[in-house]
C-alpha cells in the first residue's frame, strides 16, 4: 500500500513539473484558466512499470501539436542540427521576391550620344541569375558628322545562371554582342565595319569529398566580321576577299582534378583549343588545334604562400616546335606593420607561359584592323613582381613590374599602325619582343574623399596600341549622407604619336530619391571646347574628341 502511495505521489510530482515547464513557454494560456488534473493511477506488476492511458494529463488544449515529422525538442543557441532530410525548397514568399533586383541607366548628350543599360539579377539565395542589355552609340565625333563616317555603336545581351545541388555547382553564361564603327571616309571601299560575337562560358564543379574535386568547363564563340561596301562592283574587282568578311568558330573544353587541404592543394588539368575559319575568305581552310596539360601544387598559410606548376603545350600552330614546355614558380607574403591596420603584401612569380589569341580577340583589341590569318602560339619567359605597401592608415602605395621575352621563336601579334593598307584597314604582324613594364600608384582615402595618382611606363618594347608613358590622377568626394558627390580625372600620354593635350573629365551626381540618381558628365573637355580632334594610333583615324552628357540611374 505504501509503495502504491509513493508511486502515485511521484507520478503527480512529475506531471506537475512537466506541466509547469510547458506553461512558462506558452503565453497563450490565461492566468485565470483552471486546469484540472485527472486522477493518476499506476499499477505495479513484478519488476516492470506500466501506465494507463490516463496516467498523464492531456496537454493538447494548451500545447500546439508539432507538424508530422518535425522535432519538438528545444534548440540550443550556437548548435546546428544535422539531418538527413532533403534540401529545403526555395522560399517564394515576399522576402524571396525582394531578393530579385533591377537597375537601369538612360543617358544622352552631345554630340549624338545615347546609352541604355538595363539588368535584372538575383545575387544571393537559391539559384542566382543575371540578365543584362546594353546599347551605346555615338553619332559624330566632335565637329565631325556621323554622315561622314564618324560614328560607333555597341549592342549587347548577356545572361548568367547558377544552379546549386548537394555537391555540384553549375554556372551557365551566354552572350551576344554587335560592334559597329564608321571608317571616317578613309577607306576607298568601305564606309563601316561590323563585328558580331556569340559566346558561351559554362562551368561544372563537383565536390567529391575528403578535399577532392573535379571541375569541367566548356567555352565557345562564333565571330563574324563584315563591312559596308557602297559600290559592290568596284570592291569585288579590287578588294581582297578576306578584307570584306570573316567567320571564325572557337571551342575550348577543359577539365581539372584537384585535392584541397587546409594548407596544401594540388591539381592536374587538361584543356583543348579548336579554332577554324570558314566562309568565303581566302583562309577559310585554316584551323588551329591545341592541347595543354598542366600539373600544379601550392601551399599557403595566413602569411606565406608558395606554388609551382609545369606542363606541355602541343598542337598544329606552335611554331617550329613539336612541344612547348611551360612552368611557373610563385612566392607570396603578407604581414602586419605598425603603420596601418592593412597588411603589407609582396608577390613574385616567374617561368615560361604560352597562350593563344583568338581571331576575335585580335581584331577587337586593335581597332580599325583586319587579320589575314588565324594567330599562332605566343610563348614568353616572364617575371612578375607586385607589392602593396600601406604607408599609413589612409595612404597606400602599389608597385608592379612585369617582364616578358619571346621564347622558342613564338612572338606576339600586334596591329601594324605604322603603315596603311590599300583598303584602309591595318594589318597584323608577328614579332619577337622584350617587354618591361612598371606601374606605380598612390592612393589616399579619408572618410568620403579619395585621391589617387599613377604612372605607367614601357621601358623597352611599346605595344602598338599603347604609349610609352601615361600619367593619371583622379579625385572623388561624396557627402556624408551620399546624396551628392563629384569626381574628376586627368590623364596624359607621352611617347611617339601621342597628343600633348591631356584628357580631362569630370562627373557630378545628385540623388533625388534612394533609388534614383542624376549624373552630368564631361569627357575630354579641352578638346570639346576647343573643337579639335584627337587621333587614334597611326594618326589616320580619330577618336571621339570630347562629349557632354546627362544620365539617370534607377534601382529597385
Say if residue 554's pLDDT is above 60. yes
Could you tell me if residue 123 is inside a domain? Answer: yes
Tell me whether the omega of the peptide bond preceding residue 84 falls within 30 degrees of 0, making it cis. Answer: no
Phi, psi angles (nearest 5°) of residue 92: -105, 20
What mean pLDDT do residues 89-110 have? 70
Could you tell me if residue 548 is inside a domain? Answer: no
Q: What is the pLDDT of residues 123-138, one digit of tens each?
A: 877 789 999 999 999 9
In the three-class reduction of DSSP (H, G, I as helix; E, B as strand; rest coil), residue 88 is classed as coil
pLDDT at 84: 36
Say which residue, 283 or 195, is predicted with more confidence. Answer: 195
Read off the C-alpha cell for 273: 583549343
Q: Do 281 and 316 have their domain in common?
A: yes
Q: Do 178 and 191 have their domain in common?
A: no
Cα separation of the two ends of the chain: 77
Q: What is the pLDDT of residues 368-394, one digit of tens each?
A: 888 888 999 999 999 999 999 999 999
Say if residue 228's pLDDT is above 70. yes
| Residue 475 banded pLDDT, cuts 50, 70, 90 | very high
Mean pLDDT lowest for which of 44-58, 101-115, 217-231, 234-248?
Answer: 44-58
Q: Do 194 and 151 have their domain in common?
A: no
Q: Do 130 and 191 have their domain in common?
A: no
Q: Do 440 and 396 have their domain in common?
A: no
pLDDT at 98: 59
pLDDT at 54: 45
pLDDT at 521: 96
Q: What is the pLDDT of residues 274-327, one digit of tens each?
A: 999 886 655 556 899 999 999 999 999 999 999 999 999 999 999 888 899 999
Count of structural domains, the chain: 3
Q: Do 283 and 205 have their domain in common?
A: yes
The last residue of one of the domains, among 402, 423, 449, is 402
Burial 427-453 (b: 16+ CB within 10 A, else e): ebeeeeeebebeeebbbeeeeeeebbe
Do residues 326 and 308 lie in contact, with contact meaning Cβ atoms separated by under 8 Å? no
Say which residue, 145 or 423, is predicted with more confidence. Answer: 145
What mean pLDDT do residues 482-500 have? 93
Could you tell me if residue 245 is inside a domain? Answer: yes
Going by C-alpha positions, the residue among 500, 497, 501 that lies closest to residue 536 is 497
Do residues 11 and 44 lie in contact, with contact meaning Cβ atoms separated by under 8 Å? no
The DSSP annotation for 164-206 comes to E-SSEEEEEEEEEEEEEEE-TT--SS-SEEEEEEEEEEEEEEE
Residue 282 vs residues 288, 430, 436, 462, 533: alpha-carbon distances, Å: 16, 20, 37, 31, 37
Could you tell me if residue 52 is inside a domain? Answer: no
Euclidean distance between CA atoms 525 and 536, whole angstroms: 17
State the DSSP code for 367. Answer: T
Euclidean distance between CA atoms 268 and 409, whole angstroms: 27
pLDDT at 233: 55
Could you tell me if residue 127 is inside a domain? Answer: yes
Going by C-alpha positions, the residue among 380, 441, 387, 432 that lies closest to residue 411 is 432
419: exposed, middle or buried (Cβ count in 10 Å: 0-12, 13-18, 19+):
exposed
Q: Do 524 and 487 have their domain in common?
A: yes
| Residue 61 banded pLDDT, cuts 50, 70, 90 | very low
Q: What percent of the chain has pLDDT over 90?
A: 60
Cα 234 from chain centroid (whole Å): 45
528: exposed, middle or buried (Cβ count in 10 Å: 0-12, 13-18, 19+):
buried
The last residue of one of the domains, among 385, 402, 419, is 402
Could you tell me if residue 7 is inside a domain? Answer: no
Cα 29 from chain centroid (whole Å): 56
Average confidence score pLDDT of the chain? 83
Mean pLDDT lowest for which of 81-95, 354-368, 385-399?
Answer: 81-95
Say which residue, 79 or 236, is predicted with more confidence. Answer: 236
Q: Do 155 and 195 have their domain in common?
A: no
pTM exceeds 0.85: no
Say if residue 355's pLDDT is above 60. yes
Enclosing domain of residue 116: 99-160+174-184
Count Cβ atoms below 10 Å from residue 234 Cβ, excluding itself: 12
Euclidean distance between CA atoms 368 and 152, whole angstroms: 12
Could you tell me if residue 40 is inside a domain? Answer: no
pLDDT at 284: 54
Euclidean distance between CA atoms 338 and 111, whole angstroms: 52
Q: Do 314 and 374 have their domain in common?
A: yes
Q: Do 179 and 196 have their domain in common?
A: no
Euclidean distance between CA atoms 182 and 200, whole angstroms: 28
Q: Do 441 and 396 have their domain in common?
A: no
Phi, psi angles (nearest 5°) of residue 196: -125, 135
Say which residue, 552 or 427, is predicted with more confidence. Answer: 552
Could you tell me if residue 251 is inside a domain? Answer: yes
Q: Do 207 and 313 have their domain in common?
A: yes
Euclidean distance between CA atoms 368 and 181, whole angstroms: 9
Q: What distance separates the 2 farthest-apart alpha carbons in the chain?
A: 123
Amino acid at each position: 500500500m505504501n509503495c502504491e502511495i509513493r508511486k502515485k505521489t511521484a507520478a503527480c510530482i512529475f506531471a506537475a513539473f512537466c506541466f509547469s515547464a510547458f506553461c512558462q513557454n506558452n503565453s497563450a494560456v490565461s492566468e485565470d484558466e483552471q486546469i484540472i488534473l485527472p486522477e493518476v493511477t499506476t499499477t505495479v506488476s513484478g519488476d516492470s512499470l506500466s501506465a494507463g492511458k490516463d496516467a498523464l494529463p492531456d496537454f493538447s488544449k494548451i500545447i500546439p501539436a508539432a507538424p508530422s515529422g518535425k522535432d519538438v525538442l528545444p534548440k540550443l543557441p550556437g548548435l546546428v542540427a544535422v539531418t538527413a532530410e532533403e534540401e529545403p525548397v526555395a522560399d517564394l514568399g515576399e522576402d524571396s521576391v525582394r531578393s530579385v533586383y533591377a537597375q537601369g541607366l538612360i543617358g544622352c548628350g552631345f554630340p549624338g550620344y545615347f546609352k541604355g543599360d538595363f539588368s535584372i539579377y538575383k545575387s544571393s539565395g537559391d539559384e542566382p541569375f543575371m540578365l543584362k542589355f546594353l546599347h551605346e552609340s555615338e553619332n559624330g565625333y566632335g565637329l565631325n558628322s556621323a554622315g561622314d563616317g564618324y560614328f560607333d555603336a555597341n549592342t549587347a545581351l548577356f545572361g548568367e545562371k547558377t544552379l546549386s545541388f548537394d555537391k555540384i555547382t553549375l554556372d551557365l553564361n551566354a552572350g551576344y554582342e554587335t560592334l559597329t564603327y564608321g571608317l571616317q571616309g578613309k577607306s576607298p571601299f568601305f564606309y563601316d565595319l561590323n563585328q558580331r560575337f556569340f559566346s558561351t562560358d559554362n562551368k561544372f564543379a563537383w565536390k567529391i569529398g575528403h578535399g577532392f574535386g573535379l571541375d569541367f568547363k566548356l567555352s565557345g564563340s562564333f565571330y563574324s566580321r563584315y563591312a559596308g561596301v557602297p559600290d559592290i562592283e568596284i570592291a569585288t574587282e579590287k578588294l581582297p576577299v578576306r578584307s570584306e568578311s570573316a567567320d571564325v568558330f572557337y571551342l575550348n573544353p577543359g577539365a581539372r582534378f584537384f585535392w584541397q587541404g587546409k594548407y596544401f592543394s594540388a591539381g592536374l588539368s587538361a584543356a583543348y583549343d579548336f579554332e577554324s575559319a570558314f566562309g568565303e575568305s581566302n583562309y577559310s581552310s585554316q584551323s588551329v588545334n591545341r592541347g595543354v596539360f598542366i600539373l600544379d601544387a601550392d601551399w599557403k598559410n595566413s602569411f606565406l604562400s608558395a606554388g609551382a606548376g609545369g606542363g606541355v603545350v602541343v598542337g598544329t600552330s606552335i611554331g617550329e616546335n613539336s612541344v612547348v614546355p611551360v612552368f611557373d614558380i610563385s612566392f607570396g607574403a603578407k604581414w602586419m606593420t605598425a603603420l596601418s591596420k592593412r597588411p603589407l603584401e609582396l608577390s613574385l612569380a616567374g617561368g615560361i607561359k604560352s597562350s593563344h589569341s583568338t581571331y576575335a580577340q585580335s581584331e577587337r583589341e586593335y581597332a580599325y584592323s583586319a587579320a589575314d590569318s588565324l594567330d599562332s602560339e605566343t610563348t614568353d619567359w616572364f617575371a612578375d613582381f607586385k607589392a602593396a605597401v600601406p604607408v599609413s592608415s589612409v595612404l597606400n602605395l602599389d608597385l608592379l613590374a612585369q617582364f616578358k621575352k619571346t621564347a622558342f621563336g613564338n612572338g606576339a601579334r600586334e596591329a601594324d599602325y605604322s603603315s596603311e593598307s590599300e583598303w584602309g584597314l591595318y594589318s597584323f604582324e608577328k614579332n619577337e619582343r622584350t617587354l618591361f613594364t612598371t606601374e606605380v600608384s598612390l592612393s589616399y582615402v579619408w572618410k568620403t574623399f579619395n585621391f589617387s595618382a599613377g604612372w605607367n611606363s614601357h621601358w623597352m618594347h611599346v605595344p602598338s596600341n599603347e604609349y610609352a608613358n601615361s600619367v593619371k590622377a583622379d579625385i572623388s568626394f561624396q557627402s556624408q549622407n551620399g546624396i551628392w558627390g563629384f569626381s574628376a580625372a586627368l590623364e596624359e600620354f607621352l611617347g611617339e604619336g601621342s597628343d600633348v593635350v591631356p584628357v580631362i573629365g569630370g562627373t557630378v551626381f545628385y540623388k533625388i530619391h534612394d533609388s534614383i540618381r542624376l549624373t552630368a558628365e564631361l569627357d575630354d573637355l579641352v578638346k570639346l571646347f576647343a573643337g579639335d580632334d584627337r587621333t587614334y594610333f597611326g594618326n589616320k583615324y580619330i577618336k571621339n574628341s570630347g562629349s557632354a552628357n546627362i544620365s539617370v540611374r534607377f534601382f529597385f
